[in-house]
Amino acid sequence: MTVQRQYTLPNCNLKLEGLNTGDDTDPMAPLTVVLNSECIFPGTPHVLSGGREFLDALVKTVSDYAQSLLSGIPYPLPEEVSAAQPVVLKPGEHHRHHLMATVTAADGTATRQTLELNSVQLFDLVEAVDQLLADTLTLPDLTLQLSSLDRRHARPAEPMAQRAVPAAVGLSTLAAAAALFFLPPVPEFEVQRRESEGASLSELVEQEAANLAEAESSPDDSETAAGDRGDGADPDDDATAADPIAAGVALDRLATAAAITNADTLSELAAELEDSLADALDADVVFEDDLIYRVAVSESGDILGYKYENDPALINVDSTPLPELTFIPVEPTATTDEAVAQFLVTFDEAGEVTAEPIDADELTDADSEE
């Protein structure tokens, strides 16, 4: 029995006419044989029609084109109508879609027709095809064969430049790490002090300290002479013999020096000598007895030497400023021809300092007695 199925939408009508199988009186018998199919778009004079081959091509082409539009992935669709592809759908300008098909007339002649569809007509065509595929009473064997596209057809979600950034960063990091790994380590130098050098330095320090101590101490027998002072020996002889250069220079080297005889010069030198000794004397020093020294002074006021005149002067010489103020030449034993004046310098118990010039004749007599 001839059965007709129609899928009507506002902008597209899809009609099928064919035969059903089974009981002719059963209205639910499915349509299994297609005799003719028509695709009509209201408002257009053209009608696309054909048999089962036309219907299969229309269903596949419309489904593939709709999937391409919805997914945004360009599907490889045919561009021209051929015997193997009687229906072609491709995009046009201004949101138009060109539906091309080969239509066979009743007399068997085939003609090519092209319809320009807007978006609404295309959507209704897609809906009509979907209703046909969902209808179980029409062509139960008609199914849409869907297959996944090859990866090369998919458009990347990110541009190639952005996708290459992580890889480039990773390679750069790996190269930097490899370069740092293969860099030679910086050698570390430790300053090691050799024990021999340390020992030599210690010995030099100890030797220098011993030399300084020996230079500061009096290399004479003055202490021995002071210890034996009770035998009535003359302290002048012991002082001169015991300490010739320790606190100053022995007066022996001044034996050939000319004497200063000018009274004014002697007075000025005496006053200057008293002032310098008094200023240098420690204010806290207290003497139990008077200390008497014979002191030689140059014309410029420099103390060139001194000699002990009594026992307290020998014992307390370090408490006086004479050792510090005495000029010690490079060669203490060398004689000098410089004019000098000699004074008797007294440090009394009250801390007063007096300097009295010694007459040249008295000085000559004293030296001859010695």
Q: What is the pLDDT of residue 11?
A: 93
Nearest CA to 279 out of 351, 358, 346 is that of 351
Give the DSSP letter string of 63-97. Answer: HHHHHHHHH-------SS--SS--EEEEE-SSS-E
CA dist list (Å): 62 to 55, 56, 129, 150, 255: 11, 10, 8, 20, 144
pLDDT of residue 245: 46
| Cβ atoms 259, 363 nearer than 8 A | yes
> So what's the pLDDT on residue 15?
93
What is the C-alpha to C-alpha distance for residues 159 and 151, in angstroms, rounded to an integer? 16
Q: For position 84, what pLDDT does the model report? A: 80
Residues of the chain under the 70 pLDDT cut: 23-24, 74-76, 105-108, 146-159, 184-206, 208-209, 212-213, 215-256, 329-337, 360-370
- Write out the two tokens for 166: 């992580």
3-state secondary structure of 114: strand
